Structure 1
Amino acid sequence: ASFRGVLTNGGRGGGGGGGALLRRSSSIRELPRRFSRQLSRRRSSLAESLPDTPAGWAASTAVLSSFALGYELRLQRSLTAPPLVFSQSNPRNDALRETLSRRRPGGRKGILTRDIKPSLWVGTRGTLSSAAAYALPHFGRKRRGECELNARLNFREVMTMGRDGASVGIDWEVPPEKYDSSLCRRKTSEERQSEILEGPIRKPVVLILHGINNDASFGYVRSLMRACTDRGWIAAGYNFRGCGGVPLTTPRGYTGSYTGDIRDAVQQICDRTASPSVPVFLVGNSLGANLITKYLGEEGYSGTLPPNVAGGVSLGNPLHIHSGNMSFPWAQVLGLGVRKSLFLTRDKWSQMTCRNFRAAFLKALLVCQTIGSVDDTLAPYLIRNDPVYPFAVTVGYPDAGEQYWDDASSYKYVQHVSVPLLKVTAQDDFLVYGSSLRKMSHCLECPNVTVVKTRCGGHLGWQESPPEEQREGEGRGFGTSSWADAAAADFIEAIIESRRKSDKEEEAIKKAREEEVEAEVAAARRRRKEEEREGGGRGDDDDDDDAGNAHMERRSTSEREGYIAARVAAAAAARREADEIRSRL
């Protein structure tokens, strides 16, 4: 009783501390009841404020929808802007930029000058734009004049790589044939397919590479393939080894550094073309963009790029591959995709007799959680190639992940690219924008690279509202289209147009040179005849021909000697540059 009195009479007899403690504990016990009463009052007030009739509900929904739409329209306007373009100033880049900036046929604005207007709800958010690009197939309508008898031809070819016997799948999409008259004989599907598989290929070919954990069936690849065939080119969707349903025939799958498969595939396609003037283009997405940049840099450094390869497009290229560039949750998501690939191809790598090899793959499959830890575990057993000719194939990175990431980073090779290359990155790309921005200066060191930065687009998304001048049938479906598809196609078309102009100029120069030689020969003959008349009729027509031929021979000999001297000087300069770059590497 005395203890109870002390607690209850807290202010008396020195018991104030105990009373305060009791009041505090009772107030804590009251908190749930107070919260429940407040929640009940708010629920009742909310229930009273809700409409009682369907008309009231409709009005409330309309008001909320108008507020949401107004916010979305303001967000769309804030993101609508033309892209930023960076490149060195030289005749080739200036000509390409001028072509891509002027109005296209039909009144369309140039791809580098018109605003990129993101689609509502999807294009305005980088993550949703990327998800739509991955998930949505192409739902383009048929083009006018296209019928079932003259439709696009789709088929798959399985190529065997000559370096280690690996298999990759090429998904071909061939545009409809064009005939001058309805009386012309129509080619069968077998004949059209034979032209692709055996040659000769007479149309431009666009080889498109997908990203990590994807294949050529993903929406962004199919959409770009359709954009190419709409312009009359042949599109080829490249599936990395072990991807797209093509069985893995070697224990080692694709990596972010090995370019041997691309090299073999490009060479096989170039060998089927009718002539070196038939252009072949490379378009890479994400990891595929990194690989084509590395391939073009390696070939440009060694001077071994096939003459058919006329240019490339790099979309969402990270430039610098490193585990530190991946944050949560994307490092875990990409790691899960790689582990899934390892599980699906376990029948191949589990046959290896090397215990360390099998143990590393089991650890990557069962223990590793992020893409960085998977790379670090498998790096000593990954396939790789030397960066210089003859690009010898070896296995393993002794220093594990750091050495692999350093070898895979394409920023080290981009300055050696010898053909026009368009690199496109979005500011809201949550995967690669940071690493790409930090290494952008390496791209601008190359006179052949054009860097384009967009305000929106996400990772490989670029979902935009179709512009008013959008051509019929274009788009990814659901009222959206891809700005990147149009940019890549316009860039390729500009290169083709530039090559045609240069071919015409070379032809005109050659013709003018021949006419100049003929004029000099004729002048030599006239001088010879005048000398004969002055000298009493010496010589005959045969002497005239001999004099003209001798003049032509002297001219051709001097030109040949000058050409050889120029080639020797160029080779010496290339060797000096190669030695300097090799010392840096």
Structure 2
Amino acid sequence: MEQTSLYDMKFTGSADERFNAPAGLRNPHLQTVLPRLLRRHVTLQPHWQRLDLPDGDFVDLAWSEDPQQAQHKPRVVLFHGLEGSFTSPYVHGLMQMCQARGWLAVVMHFRGCSGEPNRLNRIYHSGETGDASFFLHWLRARWGHVPTVAVGFSLGGNMLGCLLGQQGNEAALDAGVIVSAPLMLEPCSLRLERGFSRFYQYYLLAQLKKNAERKLLAWPETLPVDLTQLKALRRLRDFDDAITARAHGFTDASDYYRRASALPLLKAVRKPLLIIHAKDDPFMSDEVIPRKEQLSATITYQLTSHGGHVGFVGGTLRQPQLWLEQRVPQWISPFLDC
């Protein structure tokens, strides 16, 4: 099936902008898992920096190079997905591409995602934009005002959509890219409870529980559950009910999903934004796909037939290529190389 767009069923971009999965790689689960094999080894050695937050907590930054020596370069800010980090293949792979183009890339790890538990009685979630907003303004104040673009993946993409919708023209960015974001959280939660997608729920929940256990051992009583209650959680929704919602002032998981979904905010986006979704994403359902009237005039929306979740493996069976590592730099370059 040919590359598709939501509105005219045919994406009109040039050939190198389109995504075409090889015939043997069109299975959505293969698309989702394969990048972990293709980018299994991390070759980039990041420059680490800890950023103290106003509330006494911290986030850790991984730079593609020492910012002290490269502060004049255009910047690409990366926001990872649920329990992601610099070592996630979509992160370090894109960082390498940015470095090769002469851009300075940096990933802001959400609280507790860099390997060390955060200190306070909270973690991170899909709609938490405060840390990212503080970080983006700190970037300008500390390292100067240069062209800056942000790329958000999955949960980080939903967060970026919330931030751009909330801040409009005031967002401290020149443009953004969102990849495989669960723009409506409730349908995505339900999707992960069905069929083979339960495998992803099992994996993600295991990672969340492992991280939460480290936090409870390092900082007892900083989460609204104890270790016994944590181990009893069986679904992502259970985790969001017991921990995410209660730690961040939501009534329950449903309230969190409603208030932290980016889709209702996209109409208010004023900065240029590219959103990339795959129709076969095993983390999502059709409710995540926005209607044309839900998008602002500054948004370019690209829906592909295949690609899985943050997969988009193109090329050939013998020489697979990670399309995002070409598409994202190609789209953001006019904002950085001006």
Same fold (TM over 0.5): yes
**Residue correspondence of structure 1 range 176-215 to structure 2 within 5 A:** 193-195=67-69, 201-215=71-85
Distance 2:284 2:26 in 1: 18
SS at match of 2:303: strand
SS at match of 1:422: strand
SS at match of 1:413: helix
Query: Match of 1:158?
Result: 50
Can you give the 5+ residue segments of structure 2 that lack an aligned partner in the other structure? Answer: none
Whether 2:311 is the aligned partner of 1:461: answer yes
Query: TM-score under structure 2 normalisation?
Result: 0.87
Larger radius of gyration: 1
**Residue correspondence of structure 1 range 276-295 to structure 2 within 5 A:** 278-295=146-163
Can you give the 5+ residue segments of structure 1 that lack an aligned partner in the other structure? Answer: 1-78, 88-96, 103-108, 142-151, 175-191, 384-395, 468-477, 501-585
| Offset at residue 210 of structure 1 (A) | 1.2
| Offset at residue 377 of structure 1 (A) | 1.6
| Offset at residue 344 of structure 1 (A) | 1.7
Aligned length: 330
SS at match of 2:78: strand
Query: Match of 2:60?
Result: 169
Question: Which has the higher relative contact order, 1 or 2, with Cα contacts under 8 A spaced 6 or more apart?
Answer: 2
Distance 1:135 1:288 in 2: 22
| Offset at residue 342 of structure 1 (A) | 1.0
Which has a greater percent of helix?
1
Whether 2:283 is the aligned partner of 1:431: answer yes
Distance change (3 Å), C-alpha of 1:351 and 1:416: same
Bigger drift between 333-342 and 424-433 goes to 333-342
Distance change (3 Å), C-alpha of 1:253 and 1:461: same
| Offset at residue 315 of structure 1 (A) | 0.3
| Offset at residue 379 of structure 1 (A) | 4.4
C-alpha RMSD over aligned residues? 2.8
Query: Match of 1:376?
Result: 241
Contact 1:241–1:254, Cα closer than 8 Å, also in 2? yes
Query: Match of 2:27?
Result: 125
Query: Match of 2:324?
Result: 484
Query: Match of 2:170?
Result: 304
Distance change (3 Å), C-alpha of 1:262 and 1:216: same
Matched AA of 2:68: S
Matched AA of 1:170: L
Whether 2:252 is the aligned partner of 1:400: answer yes
| Offset at residue 243 of structure 1 (A) | 1.0
Contact 1:167–1:246, Cα closer than 8 Å, also in 2? no
SS at match of 1:343: helix
Query: Match of 1:84?
Result: 5
Query: Match of 1:449?
Result: 299
Distance 2:47 2:120 in 1: 24
Contact 1:314–1:423, Cα closer than 8 Å, also in 2? yes
SS at match of 1:261: helix
Distance 1:483 1:443 in 2: 28
Contact 2:266–2:294, Cα closer than 8 Å, also in 1? no
SS at match of 2:328: helix
Matched AA of 1:488: V
Query: Match of 2:141?
Result: 271
Distance change (3 Å), C-alpha of 1:419 and 1:86: farther
Matched AA of 1:372: R
| Offset at residue 242 of structure 1 (A) | 0.7
Matched AA of 1:315: V
| Offset at residue 233 of structure 1 (A) | 0.8
Distance 2:167 2:298 in 1: 14
Whether 2:274 is the aligned partner of 1:422: answer yes
Contact 2:185–2:258, Cα closer than 8 Å, also in 1? yes
Distance 2:308 2:220 in 1: 38
**Residue correspondence of structure 1 range 484-503 to structure 2 within 5 A:** 484-496=324-336, 500=338
| Offset at residue 326 of structure 1 (A) | 2.7
Query: TM-score under structure 1 normalisation?
Result: 0.52
| Offset at residue 406 of structure 1 (A) | 0.9
Query: Match of 1:548?
Result: none
SS at match of 1:257: coil
Distance change (3 Å), C-alpha of 1:82 and 1:326: closer
| Offset at residue 481 of structure 1 (A) | 1.6
Distance 1:487 1:257 in 2: 26
Which string of whole-angstrom CA distances, capped at 9 and with x for unpartnered residues, describes residues 199-225 of structure 1? Answer: xx2211111111112212111111111
**Which residue among 289, 297, 314 is the counterpart of 2:178?**
314
Contact 2:213–2:227, Cα closer than 8 Å, also in 1? no
| Offset at residue 284 of structure 1 (A) | 0.7
Distance change (3 Å), C-alpha of 1:380 and 1:494: closer
Matched AA of 2:257: W
Contact 2:264–2:294, Cα closer than 8 Å, also in 1? no
